[in-house]
Chain A
Amino acid sequence: GEDVEQSLFLSVREGDSSVINCTYTDSSSTYLYWYKQEPGAGLQLLTYIFSNMDMKQDQRLTVLLNKKDKHLSLRIADTQTGDSAIYFCAESITDKLIFGTGTRLQVFP
């Protein structure tokens, strides 16, 4: 099937690290993505990882991929209030992206 699962909510204190988890189903996915959606806006690509990589770091963002368990995570270091948004992971399957249900990240002072 084409199910990408995420937990629905995550609440963290400003300055802490956030870890958003995702499990996907298709082991043939070439790329896996993280998108961010702010209120009233469309989705914006944050980062992506090629399926033959284990980790990718981009400033405050770290993506970890466990291909054996089909598990993807996004770590945001030093989380700020501006990071409050919905985060979607997505896998690429035959020229289309399948998105997870999204994780709403709330950052409190």
Chain B
Amino acid sequence: KAGVTQTPRYLIKTRGQQVTLSCSPISGHRSVSWYQQTPGQGLQFLFEYFSETQRNKGNFPGRFSGRQFSNSRSEMNVSTLELGDSALYLCASSSTGGIGELFFGEGSRLTVL
């Protein structure tokens, strides 16, 4: 079956803009988690959604938000972009959530100029 699909794969924005990233989980998976990966900080947990409800949230400012639709697809939004938001944003899906295997997409690489 198809894996986790993230779009777009690459994008460039300027400071102050906003961005929306999309994630389509594996069919049947109801949990979607988002992570930010940077060389200096490694993988940082952003949030996790399960059946359209946010179950967990990491320590990121309110500029980072997300949502999940009834078909389990998820989007994350970053408003008022800063240079430090440049990162690889990874989405992962699972059937149950954090305690269980996460299946990762290839990520969306965001560059903020």
Contacts and interface: CB of A to CB of B under 8 A. Distances in A.
Contacts of A99: 35, 42-43, 45
Q: How large is the interface on B (under 10, 10 to 19, 20 to 34, 35 or more residues)?
A: 20 to 34
B90 A43 contact: yes
A10 B73 CA distance: 37
Contacts, number: 56
Contact of B98 (A41, A45, A94, A102): A94
A101 interface: yes
Interface residues of A, number: 22
Nearest to A40: B106
For the complex, would chain A's binding face be called helix, strand, loop or mixed by DSSP majority? strand
A97 B45 contact: yes
A98 interface: yes
Interface of A: 30-31, 35, 40-45, 48, 88, 92-102
